[in-house]
Structure formats: structure tokens, C-alpha cells
Chains A and B, each alone.
Chain A
Amino acid sequence: MPKNELDFLAQRNRRRFLREVGGGIGMMGLTHLLGLEGRAGADGGPLAPKQPHFPGKAKNVIFMFMEGAPSQMDLFDPKPGLVKWSGKPLPESLTSQLRLAFISKDAKVLASPRVFKPHGQSGIEFSDYIPNIASCADDLCLVRSMHTEAFNHHPGQLLLFTGSIQFGRPTMGAWSVYGLGSESQNLPGFVVLTSGVGTSGGASNFSSGFLPSHYQGTLFRNQGDPILYLSNPEGVSAGTQRMALDAIRDMNQARLDETGDTEIASRIESYELAYRMQQAAPELADLSNEPAHIREMYGIDDPMTKQFGTNCLLARRLVERGVRFVLMMHASWDQHTYLNRELKKNCDRTDKPTAALIKDLKQRGMLDDTLIVWGGEFGRTPMVEIRNTQDPENAGRDHHPLAYSMFLAGGGIKGGTVVGKTDDIGFNIEEDKVHVHDLQATILHCLGFDHTRLTYKHMGRDFRLTDVAGNVVKKMLA
């Protein structure tokens, strides 16, 4: 047996051990809920930092999930070819196997009114709706050849985040923390930020599935308590809270002495961590000490960009403090109607803060080990969707899983590159197809994992994020 396989087995045994500790089956206590100094890795509990399969370029991930499916041919994938087809239905040879949510197969083609220009040294073309993202061109890897199977939102989101359209599997963030643990001693390892309206997937986009619930995403709010139940109850002072915590600790300790159940030691540790979280999270959420130029950069004082900009700035601050996986969900990009108006609105809200996050991470030297992923669950059709024939502004686009765009930046990613090519009308992919499973495999690769070996046994078999597929996309890698 080759040496790396032996290592792998050893590691898997260790994982199994951690799992049993973490699962709280009652056999062992979570004596050390989070890895404490000097104990990182070996047996420090389910969230202790762990070594990946090989050194990964990225330590953290910020997944900017643009829920609803942004229109790729109006943002990332210029298709002058559409003009030729504009107003005509596509040939049946293209559409015979097509599944569409709302429109029919003979819907007419809609050319994009957007103006595309090359940007940066790399000369990647972006639309005029996203000038700020475009200004990061040389740091981005733009994938124009994404594809997926699902053509409805919730199944599409399940596939993107869990690798399967069936319910119950762990999400990407949960897998990441399961694999790597958390670097933070006083914040959760997987944090979720939301903006806009509710998403189709809701909590299923950050569920731990069949992994222990430690790995579930923690919703972090940009108003009120950043973490649920973080503040002391109304009327309870800090002194009273500490007094209560001390008594809880002492009496738990007494019970530990009496019963010998090490699970109580973990409970004591949980309460200490909760207390530290109470101190750390408000500091994290307090943006008042950010300098004016940074606030300006993210646009947090401009009503248009305030919500998303605040989340972007929070994402940076979370990663700075060792949070492993930040999922930002912005909804909704589901422009079935009023494409021009609504797409612009979304871009105006998110373009500037997105670019600010990339540039800010870069200027702090954090982009090298932070992986940024931007995109939705599928793309939009080259054909028009019209729900109101009497309003010409009403035109939009339906769901299109066969070809769409996403971009990545940072840890392990080759900036200034374009991967993949679609046909003249952006209907099919002509080169370098990247399936959602390939994207997942590549993200895990950047974190240092062989996606086929990051597994968890459940219902009698080993499961993984990429189901039974996925290939690392080498062209995306630095």
C-alpha cells in the first residue's frame, strides 16, 4: 500500500474518531469543543483546525451566491451573434431536448442591449452594468461554460450547494468546516449573510445535512443581534450575565464531578465559547471604526449599496477573524420580466461592493488565501420571456441550465483568465464544459482536498460533495 494511502487511512480513522466525539453519541465528551492553542488538529473536537489532504492555496471561502440566476449574456458572455437571430425562434435542432420553466421552445431570441468592453491587461470583456467588477478583470477567472441539470431554483440550489437535487445532504460550507475545522476561537466556522429578499433554498443552502449540526451555517444578521440570541436578555446587565455564567459553570462542574460524564466538560466549554462570542461578535459587527475611505469603497453610506456593501465588509472582517466559510446570499436575480430595469438594480446594489471586497482583500494581502466565488444556480435563456405583451419593457429571460457564467478570484485561482466558450448565441457550450460538480471539486481542491476523498459515511455508504462525479478544472488554477 503506498504511503499516502496509509496516511489517508490514518487520517480517516482520526476523522471517524472526531466524528464520534462530535456526534455526541455519548461515548466521549467534547472536552475541547474548539481547538485550543497547542492542540490544533489531532483530537481537539469537531471544529478544531485540521490538515487537508495537501496544502491548499485557500484557507477561507467567500461564496457570493447571486440567487435566482443572473443573466450571463447581459453581464459576462457577450453574444453579438444574438443580433442576427433577434426576434426569430431558434432552430428546432437546438431546442428539441430543451426543458424550460415558463416559455415555449419557439420563443424568440432577445439580443442583449448591453455594451461590452475589454478590461485590464487580460482584456476580458464585461458588460457596462458591472464596471467595478470589470475593473478587477486581471484578478478574476471568468468561467463562461458552467452547466447544471436542474432548471428550477430550489433543485438548482440544492445541486450547487450539496451536489445533489435530493434533500438531506450537507452543503459546501458544512463540508469545508468538516474538512478543515475552524480557525476562529470565538466565532462560528460557517457564517451566512443575506441581502435582498428570501431565497428559494432558504436554510437548505447552509444546512449541515447528515453531518453533525456543528457544521451548519450560522445566520449572521446585519441588523439587530448579528447572531441569534447573542445579546443578553433585555434588562440583564453584563455583570449579572457574568454572575450567572459563573454559577452555571460551578454547578456544571459539580455535576461533572458527581457523574463523571465528560459531555458536561464540553457543555462548560460551550458556555465559555458562547460568552466569548458575545464579546467578539458585536466588535465584529461594529463598522464604526472602519476608516472613511473603506466605508466609501464598500458604499456602506450610500442607500443603494448599503445592505450589500455592509455584508461585503462583514465578510472581510469575518475572514480576518478566521471564519472558514462565508456564504453571502443576495436575492433575487430571477429576471423573468423587466430584465433591463431589474438587472440594473441588482448590479447597482452589488457591483461596487463586490469589487471593493476583492480589492480590499488584495490590498491587505488576504486575497491569496481567500477564495471568492460569484454566481447563481444556473443561467438565463437567449430567448425572450414575455408575460405582458402590451408592455415592451416587460421582456425578460427564462431559466437556462445548459450554459452560464460564474467567476472566481483569489486563493489558488488564476486571475485574468477566461475558461470555456459558448456558441454564437450562448445556447450551448463549445469548449471546456464545467459542471457544477467540477466547480465543487475545484473549490475543494483550492482548500487542499481531493474531492473524492473528503467523505462521510451515512446510510451505509460514503458520501461526498461531488456525489459520484466532478473533475478539478486545471485551467482555473494558478
Chain B
Amino acid sequence: MRTLIVFCLAPFALSAAPPDFEKDVWPIFRKRCYACHNATLKQNGLRLDDGASALEGGYSGPVILPGKSAESKLIARVITEKAEERMPKMGAPLSPAEIATLRAWIDAGADWPRKAAAAVAKPVHWAFQPVKRPTPPRVKSETWVRNDIDRFVLARLEKEGIATSGEAEKTTLIRRLSFDLTGLPPTPAEVRAFLEDARPDAYERLVDRLLESPRYGERWARHWLDLARYADSDGYEKDNERPIAWRWRDWVIEALNRDMPFDRFTVEQLAGDLLPDPAAPQLIATGFQRNTLTNREGGTDPKESRFEQLVNRTNTAGTVWLGLTVGCAQCHDHKYDPISQKEYYSLFAYFDRSDEVDIEAPLPGETGPHLRQLAAYRESREHLIDIFNIKPLQRAWEKQMMFTLDHPGANIEWDFAIANTRPMFDRFEATLRTPPGQRSAHDEDRLMRWYIRSPGPDDSRDPDFMNSLREFRRRLAGIDEKLPSITRAPAMMELPDPPRTRLAVKGDYREAGIPVDPGTLAVLPPLPEGAPRNRLTFARWLVSKENPLTARVTMNRLWQELFGRGLVLTSEDFGTQGEAPTHPELLDWLASEFMERGWSLKQMLRAMVTSATYRQSSHARPDLKDIDPGNTLLARQSRVRLPAESVRDAALTASGLLNDTIGGPSVKPPQPEGIAELVYSGSAKWKADEGPGRYRRGLYVHFQRTAPYPMLMNFDAPDSNVACSRRRRSNSPLQALNLLNDPVFYEAAQAFAYRLITTTPPERRVDDAFLHTVSRLPSPKERERMMRLLDDQASALATQPAEAARLLPVKPDEAAWVTAARVLLNLDEFITRE
């Protein structure tokens, strides 16, 4: 190819007449350039569909220098031999003739007549168009319709000539509703009560009861936690525990249980601190943004760590509210969606103006006792500090640290102290440089506590000095113990003196590009005029009724959780590369209904689960196998495996072990040795909770990012590093081993057996066992099989009394129930919501 270029005739290089823009140049731009360099996409800030803009150039400056083709970037980029830099990105390189034309045109002065400027506007992608409330269509089978949702679904099915499925059995319905709304199975008593409830609105009453259950908030919080990439540790190498991360998790549970309107739910989490006179819960809500990873690896560049966190926050907001892959525009303009790199940094800029802060957020009952002891505590603490003469020592250390910050390289040992302190001590430089008198008591205390652990290289060598510091720490701990503590919470605050955000060229934080103001995407409605450009405005803009995405994206995710797949399958991507909605009008109806009903999640869930569509049987239909294998037309419900946490919760519920405490610090159930040891240098300790904490719901299990609880991972819990809007549902032998042999599940089986033996008469045990696990009675065939298992197992155990006693120290025929319980806790149906 290259040799060919050299020998090809270049017409304009030889002729004197400059090319004609309309006839010769414009067709090249139109055919080869402006698919990307147009008014909407403006890749790298460059437009080649408009003369004035083209001459202005892109993010890196002008690309056409009239009269100087050799110096024009436009030419350089089409002739370069580096394939990764050569334009156009798509298709063959420009031909030598085309290149010659462009050169000649530029050398002749790059004249761009006005009339060519009109570029054809591309039709706007569906998701960016305003939500319009459609009229629910008419259907033939009016009797099937329970609410408007059904009209949209049925109209489509009738058009395709597909019949709906019958309503699922009542036992299936109560189990489905219980898992979907509370994440837990119904108890046998609840099943019986529902079966016996002959009132016409028994179903709706059940729905209302479940929506009012405090378990509702737990179940839907878990979904929100996925989106918020919540975890109980920092991630990255050190992966330190986050002992107060749960404060935000509990805020979510409570907000959902109170059915906080979703617009307020959004505003408080993104900008609670900017509300007028924010109350503690509104500050705790901003903990949403604190779920980013924190890199505390020694020697990390704090600028890089912060940049990565801001990227993570920006991308998360993009996924959660806009359903867009904005992250693609971190390094370059989005290849497919109208999101320029500049716009990316205009979203990034909102977060760039804020910083992390841990606030005092006392739990009920904490403040009084704390205050009662505070004066005495301070006095003895000050006294102790005086005795050990800590303050002058600390100040000297501070001075040395500050000197080292200002004179890196002067003393390598102190340099190392800085490199190690910086990532471990939040806002270290700012805190250190604040004069002691102006520091908050908390910051002053943090500094002192850091100092007395790491007093710097010089003093660390003096064993007497270190012994005296150790003694000080011991006595300080003694005093600390007497002061009832106040629990803190992670939150965000606005920086008093925010930096000017700059576009990071190629997404590299070290390459500052043009300055960027907080803003939004041009393809979406503008910000209200005159509103301050801060997170509060941004959050309110996200939930403004003009925003076409937030309501659609949110309703789609609810639908996904209730039907096994979203109306838009790619719930994380509403852009041009995502899947189109299967029922666009239904999605818009849901979105507009959601906004009209004051953004109430519970009302929308209620509407969805009371529809006839939802109440259908999930049985496979041979007639649909070929025409709708993905069940996109909703002629039946979907049969889906439970999420990881519900698998655990179901086993604990059936066995009667479940500890239903709501909220509080995360817990550590037993896990095999070798897992926690995966964490860097074995720094994470996993001490299994011996008390009732080990029987808490799955959402309370401590999530260690670099060594997550294996059961959760086996069942497809997200890794909590980036926002997850759609979990996968795999089916693997490791899941089988987990349910069969994990001591947690075995303990559940033993407890379940013991519960049946001690609370149920023998003749009712099989029925009850089924009710506890699959919420229905066994078929005759199943009953027969279960009886056979019990008989076989009892006879085997009769000859093996030692094994029987190890299963459960009861009579062998009763010990056989452990095996029966294990079987039930391993059934596909047990871990499936039908």
C-alpha cells in the first residue's frame, strides 16, 4: 500500500487550479469525516460539518491552518503510518487523490463557503426523547386485564396471536411475592393463611402486607447496594475494613421502608450536604458516594487516587440514573452515544468540587452518656498528654513532616514516612497544614493518634522512647474505654475552595486539558438557568420531569427485578448500543406514572405485582420455545434463580436460624480458612461471629473486596467495584458443593431437621418440610420419594449408630431427617423463584 501511494498520481499536486470546495472537498468531509465530527458527536471536540467550527479546531487546538497544509494536523492525521492514529478510524485510509485534494484546498487558503454548512440532523435515539404518556391500548380480552400494564402486554400478544399463561398457583404466588418484595420465603403459617383467605382482594392484601414489612427495605436496599458498589472494605491492596460503611446502608433500608420518594432519595444521596440545614440523615445519605474504592497502597500518588475515585463516582451516576455508559468518554468522545469527552468532565466536575469527610452521627442513645462523661474524659486525657509531654513532641513531628513535604529528598527516611502516611491518613496534607488552633478536635486527635503509632524514623529507633509511647497508648486506651463513643458516618462535603476542573487528555490525570465547568449532556434538557453549578442542581436535574432517562431507567430496573429481565434488557445501557425496549410504550407509561405518583417506588411495585402479567405461571410453554425463547413478549412469568443473599436467607429461614435484626455493623459468618488470607499480606482477619450475628441475612455479611465471602461470589453477587445494575445468574457445580457441604448450610439442615422433629408430629413432617422450603405441599410422587429416602436413610443409620449420632444426637430414624433436610435445601426449586 505504502509504495502505491508514492507512485500514484495526485491530480491537484500537479495542476494549478485550487479544488472546488463544493465539488471536491465537501464530499470527502461528508463521506469520510463527519460521521464522527458532526454537531452531535463532535469527536475530540472537532466538527467538520461546519466551516467556522472546523477552522476553530478540537480539544487539542486548530487542525486546519489555511495556506499551510504541511503544518495542519488534519493532513498529518490522514497520512500518518501509525494505524492507531490514522483518520478516518473506520474504513480504508483516504486515497492519495483525496489527500492531495485536501492539501491543495488548505494551501489555497481553506475557503469554506457558508452554504455547505447545513448538516443533516440525525434522528434522535429513542431514550433521549421526552417521556410521553401513552394511552393504554385497547385489547380484545378485557377480562384478563387487571390494570393498565396488562393492556400494553396483552395488545402486543394479541397482535402476535400468542395466548397468555394462566395464573400461577396460589402457593407459587405467595412465594414469588415474598421473595420479590422482601427477599424471604413465606412461613408455612403465612402460606396457609393466604390459601384460606377467600376474600376477593386477598392477593392485594398480601401485597400490601409485604410492602409494609420492614424486610421490604432490606430486600430492595440490596438491589440499590449493587448499584452503589457498596462494600465493607476499601478495595485495592490494603483493602482495610470500613467499620462505619453500614451507616449509609442502614439509611437506604430506612428510606426505602418509609417509601421516600425517589427524587428525594436521589437528591439526598448525591447532595444531601447541600440542602438547606441538612439533618444528620441527609448527610449520612451522601455516603452513597463514599462507596468508591480507596487506594491506600504506600507510595500511591494522592492525585491519581482522587482522580480514580472521581471517575468512579461519575461513571456510577451515569449508570444508576442515566443508564448510560458515560465512562466510555473518560479518555475520548463516546464512540456511539452523544457524550463528548468534554461533557464527561462537565459531569466529573460536580464531584471534583467535593471531598470526603467522616461526620459524627450518633445512634439513638449515644449522645447523652457521651456528653455526661466528656468533661471528665477530656480532663484526664489532657492530664495524661501533659504527663507524657506529648504535645511538644507531636508538634516537632508535625514540623518535620511539613518540612519533608516541602523538601522531598532531603531525608529519605522521612520521605518514606510521608509516602506511607499519605494514603493511610485521609486528607493528610490539608490536616497537617492547618494550624493546630484551627483544626477540628477530631482532626487534632487523629493526628495525635497517628503520631503516637508512627513517630517518625528518628524516635522509632529509641527503645526507651518507644516504650514510653507504648505506655502512653496503653493508658490512653484505658481512658478511651470509659468514654461512651459516638458512631461516625462517611459523608461528603463541598470544598470551600474548589479546584478548576480540567479535561484529562486521553483520560490521563497528569495531562490537564481545557478547563471545564460543571454541566450536562447537550442531548439532554439544559440545567435551569441561573442555578448554581453544584451537586444539588445536578441531582435535581437528574430527577426533573424533563429528564427522559431517570424515570425510564429506574422503572426498567424494577421491572427487571420482578420479571427476570428488563423491558430494556441492558438495564445498564440505554444508549445506542444497548437493546431496544421490548415494550417502549409500557416503559413510557411506567415512567410517567412513576413521576405522577410522586416518584413512589412502592406504588409502582404494587402496580406491577398486581398486574395479570405478573401473576402468570412461569411454566415453560412448548409453543413459545421457538417463537419467544427469551420470554420478551411476557406470555408467561420467568422462573429465575434467587440472588445470592436470598439463597442464604431462605436456608436460614427454613431452618429457623434466621436472626432478623435490622441494620448495624456487618457480620462475619464462618468461612473456610484461606479466604481472608487472600488479602494483602494476610492483613484481613476473619473471626467468625460465634453469637447470633452469624445467622443474619445475606445483605449484612461483611464484604471484603479483595477476598469476598465465597458463598456470595458462587451465587453471582457483584464484586462491588463498579455499579452493577443487572446480576448474572449462573448455574455451576461450585454452587452445588456450596449448598451441599458448606458448614453454614449443613448447620441449617441440622437445625431444620431438629425443628421438624421437635415441633411437628411425624405424620405431618413431610408436608411441613415442603412448606418450609418450597411453600407448597408435595405431590404424591414427591411424598413417596421423600418417604423412601427417610426409610433408606433410617435403615442405613440403624446399622451406623455412630454416624447417626454425628448427624444429630437423636434416634436414627429422626437423624435421617438431617439428610431429608439437606435434600430439600438443595432442590433447584428451593433456590428458585417460580
Contact = CB atoms under 8 A, between A and B. Distances in A.
Interface of A: 22-28, 30, 33, 99-107, 152-155, 166-168, 188, 194, 197-204, 207, 212-214, 216, 218-219, 221, 223-225, 227-237, 239-241, 243-245, 247-248, 250-252, 254-255, 258-264, 266-268, 270-271, 273-274, 277-278, 331-332, 385-390, 398-399, 459-461, 468-469
B523 to A, nearest CB: 16
B457 A203 contact: no
Contacts of A153: 237, 297
Given A27-B629, A229-B738, A254-B781, A204 B719 contact: yes
**Which has the most chain A C-beta neighbours within 10 Å: B336, B684, B728, B807?**
B728
B681 interface: yes
Contacts of A103: 412, 415
Interface in B661-708: 672-675, 677-684, 705-708
5 contacts: A155-B295, A203-B713, A259-B639, A261-B639, A460-B570
Contacts of A236: 746, 803, 807
- Top 7 closest A-B pairs, CB basis? A101-B299, A460-B577, A202-B706, A235-B806, A260-B620, A167-B721, A274-B736
A367 to B, nearest CB: 30
B706 A270 contact: no
B368 interface: no
Contacts of B741: 229-233
B144 interface: no
Interface string B719-732: 10110000011111
Interface stretch (B91-99, B463-471, B818-826): B818-826
A201 B620 CA distance: 43
Given A25-B630, A102-B419, A200-B237, A460 B678 contact: no
Given A27-B630, A202-B239, A213-B716, A219 B681 contact: no
A99 B301 contact: yes
A328 to B, nearest CB: 14
Contacts of B408: 104
Contacts of B416: 102, 387
Interface string B421-435: 000000000000000
Contacts of B415: 102-104
A198 B681 contact: yes
A27 B627 CA distance: 12
B336 A461 contact: yes
Given A200-B680, A228-B738, A234-B746, 11 more contacts: A27-B629, A33-B731, A166-B722, A194-B674, A200-B237, A214-B730, A237-B803, A243-B819, A247-B789, A247-B823, A251-B786
B683 A270 contact: no
Interface in B621-637: 621-622, 629-631
Given A101-B298, A202-B706, A227 B728 contact: no
Contacts of A99: 301
A106 B409 contact: yes
Contact of B730 (A212, A225, A262): A212
B487 interface: no
B730 A460 contact: no
Contact of A244 (B683, B734, B735, B823): B823
A23 B728 CA distance: 6
A268 B829 CA distance: 12
B461 A216 contact: no
B678 A244 contact: no
Given A102-B299, A228-B734, A252 B719 contact: no
Interface residues of B, number: 110
A457 to B, nearest CB: 8
A252 B827 contact: yes
Contacts of B366: none
Nearest to B819: A244
Nearest to A221: B674
A224 B733 contact: no
Nearest to B293: A167
Nearest to A232: B741
A460 B731 contact: no
A270 B789 CA distance: 21
B412 A244 contact: no
B710 A228 contact: yes
Contact of A267 (B336, B575, B820, B828): B828
Contacts of B682: 197-198
Nearest to A194: B678
Contacts of B419: 101-102
B3 interface: no
B575 to A, nearest CB: 6
Nearest to B797: A240
A411 to B, nearest CB: 28
Interface string B731-754: 111111110111100100000000
Contacts of A101: 298-300, 419
Contacts of B572: 459
Nearest to A239: B796
A251 B672 CA distance: 30
B20 interface: no
B412 A104 contact: yes
B806 A234 contact: yes
Given A235-B806, A260-B619, A277-B733, A107 B412 contact: yes
B297 A154 contact: yes
A468 B679 CA distance: 30
B785 A251 contact: yes
Contact of B673 (A216, A218, A224, A278): A224
A248 B827 contact: yes
A319 to B, nearest CB: 20
A459 B573 contact: yes
Contacts of A386: 412-413
Given A212-B728, A243-B819, A26 B737 contact: no
A152 B302 CA distance: 12
B569 to A, nearest CB: 8
Contacts of A331: 681
B618 interface: yes
Contacts of B631: 26-27
Contacts of B412: 103-104, 107, 385-387, 389
B126 to A, nearest CB: 15
Contacts of A259: 618-620, 639, 834
Contacts of B239: 202
B187 interface: no
Contact of A461 (B577, B673, B800, B803): B577
A26 B640 contact: yes
Contacts of A27: 629-631
B565 A26 contact: yes
B564 interface: yes
Contacts of B639: 26, 259, 261, 263
Contacts of A247: 785-786, 789, 819-820, 823
A434 B396 CA distance: 48
Contact of A237 (B677, B742, B800): B800
